[in-house]
């Protein structure tokens, strides 16, 4: 919430890396994947883009039906942002793109 666009992906990478090193959390996330098999990050990105530009706008529908499914999708989003940051992608652009998609305005 307080990181600038240039630092946000780095912060997400730190959190995702920490989460990935926690056996109990990995177990919970693996179990959550069983709630709705076949969910993909592409489905979330597609829903964000087709939902009127953001979660707060009419038309957005989660491509999941459970909280577990949503956790899996957000975990995928975090890992995608972390991978982009690690690969040296312009993370300010990555964060801007995702933030714009979920902006309530």
Closest CA to 45 of 100, 89, 104: 100
pLDDT reading at 105 higher than 50: no
Q: Which residue has the higher pLDDT, 105 or 10?
A: 10
Let me know the angle formed at the C-alpha of 89 by 44 and 28, rounded to the nearest 5 degrees: 45
Sign of the dihedral defined by the CA atoms of residues 93, 59, 105, 82, in that order:
negative
Other Cβ atoms within 10 Å of 45 Cβ, number = 18
Q: Tokens for 3?
A: 């990181």
Helix H or strand E segment including 1: none
C-alpha Rg value of the chain to the nearest Å: 14
**Range with lowest mean pLDDT among 7-11, 12-16, 87-91, 96-100:** 96-100
* Single pTM value for the model: 0.76
């Amino acid at each position: 919430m307080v990181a600038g666009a240039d630092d946000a992906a780095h912060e997400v990478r730190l959190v995702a890396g920490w989460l990935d090193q926690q056996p109990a959390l990995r177990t919970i996330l693996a179990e959550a994947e069983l709630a709705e098999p076949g969910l993909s990050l592409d489905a979330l990105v597609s829903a964000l883009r087709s939902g009127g530009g953001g979660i707060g706008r009419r038309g957005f529908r989660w491509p999941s039906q459970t909280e577990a499914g949503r956790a899996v999708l957000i975990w995928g989003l975090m890992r995608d942002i972390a991978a982009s940051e690690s690969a040296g992608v312009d993370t300010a652009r990555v964060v801007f793109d995702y933030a714009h998609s979920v902006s309530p305005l």
